[in-house]
A and B are shown apart, each in its own frame.
Chain A
Amino acid sequence: GQQLNQSPQSMFIQEGEDVSMNCTSSSIFNTWLWYKQDPGEGPVLLIALYKAGELTSNGRLTAQFGITRKDSFLNISASIPSDVGIYFCAGYPNFGNEKLTFGTGTRLTIIP
C-alpha cells in the first residue's frame, strides 16, 4: 500500500530544545495532517494543511505543506515534558478519495 515515511523514527532531547521531523511520500497528497498519540489512546489532531507551501502554527507547533505535495514538516519549539509521545503525519490523496494514510511515526522522548 501507499507509504508515508517519517523521520527520524525516534528522538531523545532535553527539555527546552527545538524538534524537527518530516514526512515524505512517493505520491502526491492534497491534504496533510499531523497527530500526536499518547500511550493507550487514539491520536489527536495537531495541525491540518490544505495548500502546497502553506505554513501553519498552533502554539509552539509549526507545520509546512511541501511545495512538491510529497512532503510535510513539523517543528516543535522549546519542548516541554508533555510533548512526549508519538507524532504521526497523515495525508489524503486526490479530492474525492477519502483514504487517509498514516506515516510510520516519530517517538519523542525528553531526557531529564
Chain B
Amino acid sequence: DGGITQSPKYLFRKEGQNVTLSCEQNLNHDAMYWYRQDPGQGLRLIYYSQIVNDFQKGDIAEGYSVSREKKESFPLTVTSAQKNPTAFYLCASSTRRLGATFGSGTRLTVV
C-alpha cells in the first residue's frame, strides 16, 4: 500500500543535542513538507521540497535543517540552535491534484 512513514513516533532529546526525524514516502510524490504543531495550534511550515536536491525554507526554518537526496526521503534535523524544540512534527508529501498526504507524526520532547 502507498503511504508516508514517519519514525520514531516518540523521541526524547537532551538539551544541546541534534536529532533527526525520518520521513519516507512511496507515493511517487515530487513535493514533501515538514510542519511543526504546538498544543492547540495550527500547522506551521518548517521546510518544503518541490524536487530532489532542492528545498526551500518555510515560515519557521531557524534551528532546523533538511536534505532531499532521494525522492522518497526527506529527513528533518532539529539542531541545538532550536531553542524550543518540544512539539509534534508532521511530514507530508503531495501532488497538487490530490493534495497532501500526512504521516502519523513524531512527538519530540526535550528532557
Contacts and interface: CB of A to CB of B under 8 A. Distances in A.
B33 A100 contact: yes
Interface string B39-50: 011111100101
Interface stretch (B68-76, B77-85, B90-98): B90-98
A48 B103 contact: no
B59 interface: yes
Interface size class of B (residues with CB under 8 A): 20 to 34
Nearest to B102: A42
A102 B43 contact: yes
A99 B103 CA distance: 18
A66 interface: no
21 contacts: A1-B44, A1-B58, A1-B60, A31-B96, A33-B99, A40-B88, A42-B92, A45-B98, A45-B99, A48-B98, A88-B42, A88-B43, A98-B48, A98-B94, A100-B92, A100-B94, A102-B35, A102-B44, A103-B42, A104-B42, A105-B41
